[in-house]
């Protein structure tokens, strides 16, 4: 399953990649991870249908993951489910505004990230609608 990780910060992308591993749970497909540092590259992948699940850093710069998520949900037909990494738990209301499907906060807890991503991957693999966060 194609997992796209978006953050301007290479260390954040590396932490996400490490948390995902080959697959975030034994019962989900292997993750083909593509990490991108720019919004332009993220849009190229989305436009080409090269993403099954997105992991977006809400703290990415200059385009934050929250705004990118909201735009993707508005503009991409059958937008892939989104796991949004927010700056702090109190930003949860902003994640709701962005229409993210799952949310975790910085600092990244690898177990929490894997659990949330695996849930999105299961739903995507089964073709069921993803419940909103």
**Residue 98 confidence (pLDDT):** 93
Q: Tens digits of per-residue pLDDT, 36-64?
A: 999 999 999 999 999 999 999 999 999 99
Q: Tens digits of per-residue pLDDT, 10-44?
A: 999 999 999 999 999 999 999 999 999 999 999 99
Confidence of residue 90 (pLDDT cuts 50, 70, 90): confident
pLDDT more than 70, % of the chain:
95
pTM of the model: 0.93
Q: Provide DSSP, the chain.
A: -EEEEE-S-HHHHHHHHHHH-S-SSTTSPPPEEEEESSHHHHHHHHHTT--SEEEEETT-SSS-HHHHHHHHHHHSTTPPPEEEEESSGGGHHHHHHHT-SEEEESSP-HHHHHHHHHHHHHHHHHTPPPPP-
What is the fold, at CATH topology level, of the domain defined by 2-126? Rossmann fold (3.40.50)
Sorted by where each begins, the domain ranges of the chain are 2-126
């Amino acid at each position: 399953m194609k997992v796209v990780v978006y953050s301007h910060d290479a260390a954040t992308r590396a932490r996400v990649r490490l948390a995902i591993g080959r697959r975030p749970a034994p019962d989900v497909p292997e993750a083909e991870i593509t990490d991108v540092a720019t919004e332009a590259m993220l849009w190229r992948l989305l436009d080409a249908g090269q993403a099954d699940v997105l992991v977006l850093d809400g703290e990415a710069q200059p385009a934050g993951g929250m705004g990118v998520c909201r735009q993707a949900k508005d503009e991409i037909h059958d937008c892939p489910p989104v796991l949004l990494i927010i700056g702090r738990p109190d930003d949860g209301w902003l994640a709701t505004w962005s229409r993210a499907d799952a949310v975790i906060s910085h600092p990244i807890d690898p177990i929490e990230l894997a659990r949330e991503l695996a849930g999105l991957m299961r739903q995507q693999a089964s073709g069921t609608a993803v419940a909103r966060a």
